[in-house]
């Protein structure tokens, strides 16, 4: 996606070198993600610490740097390479969304930049920043979805009307209902009325502790579970549903029963002796 943006700047705005970095917040540093045109020798700008070099300074200052005299700009490094390439102009823009820096884009040209080009670049910078943010959000959502789907615990969500709206593979294994069978069904099909009231409580915004309870499988068999329920809120903070995570406690219950039986037999043995 960013490479396409760089190529568009190169082609449509006639820049001779275009580079796009995204912010790695963990370091923090700018990491090169797209490049078109001339590249400096021994390219040291693949990863740029925040505050270093021109692009790092743009990230700190959070304002564009534009010049039509780049060969004589004292703030530019590697001016020998700039002169060799016969570059005349430079434009560097921070990529910002909701006051959060997400990257930097920088361009060189062998011709002077018109004032209208700066206006166009402002628009482009906003669009590229939004694209980076959207891609990150999509990646985060995809990762979260993969974690939920791959969990061994049963994870499901419920609408404000008490209808099941999502169902992972762990829930399919535990309750023996397929996703197509259970979606849109009332949550009371699985859980007792007391637990359903806990779901209602989370939808009112009330905190609910993890509890041990008994649910029902598709064949009616009881399933001992540890149940965690929480509210689901939208971007405005409004509660739009509830989520449940149910962990199968059957094995633990079985081991506890074996332990109790062993203790009982030990007590009987002591009495008999």
| Tens-binned pLDDT, residue by residue, of the chain (273 aa) | 788 888 888 887 889 999 999 999 888 899 999 999 988 876 668 889 999 889 999 999 999 999 999 999 988 888 889 999 999 999 999 999 989 999 999 999 999 998 888 888 988 998 889 888 888 777 777 777 787 787 889 999 988 888 999 999 999 999 999 999 999 999 888 887 666 667 777 767 777 778 888 898 888 888 999 988 888 888 788 888 888 889 998 887 777 667 677 677 666 666 665
HSE-up (13 A, CA, CB side) for residue 109: 20
Kindly report the number of other CB atoms within 10 A of residue 236's CB atom: 6
pTM, two decimals, is: 0.60
Nearest C-alpha neighbor of 199 from the set 160, 149, 154: 160
């Amino acid at each position: 996606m960013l490479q396409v943006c760089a190529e568009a700047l190169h082609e449509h705005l006639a820049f001779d070198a275009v580079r796009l970095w995204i912010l790695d917040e963990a370091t923090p540093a700018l990491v090169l993600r797209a490049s078109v045109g001339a590249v400096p020798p021994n390219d040291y700008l693949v990863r740029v610490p925040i505050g270093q070099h021109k692009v790092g300074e743009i990230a700190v200052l959070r304002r564009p740097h534009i010049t039509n005299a780049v060969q004589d700009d004292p703030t530019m490094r590697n001016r020998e390479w700039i002169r060799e390439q016969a570059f005349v102009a430079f434009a560097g823009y921070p990529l910002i969304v909701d006051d959060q820096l997400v990257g930097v884009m920088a361009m060189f040209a062998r011709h002077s930049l018109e004032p209208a080009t700066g206006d166009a670049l402002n628009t482009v910078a906003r669009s590229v920043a939004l694209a980076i943010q959207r891609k990150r959000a999509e990646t985060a959502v995809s990762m979260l979805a993969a974690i939920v789907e791959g969990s061994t615990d049963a994870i499901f969500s419920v609408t404000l009307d008490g209808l099941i709206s999502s169902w992972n593979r762990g829930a399919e294994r535990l309750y023996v209902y397929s996703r197509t069978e259970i979606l849109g069904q009332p949550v009371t099909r699985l859980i007792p009325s007391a637990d359903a009231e806990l779901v209602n409580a989370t939808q009112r915004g009330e905190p609910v502790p993890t509890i041990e309870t008994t649910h029902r499988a598709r064949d009616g068999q009881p399933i001992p579970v540890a149940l965690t329920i929480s509210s689901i809120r939208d971007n405005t903070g409004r509660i739009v549903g509830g989520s449940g995570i149910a962990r199968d406690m059957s094995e633990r219950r079985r081991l506890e029963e074996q332990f109790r039986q062993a203790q009982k037999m030990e007590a009987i043995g002591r009495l008999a002796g």
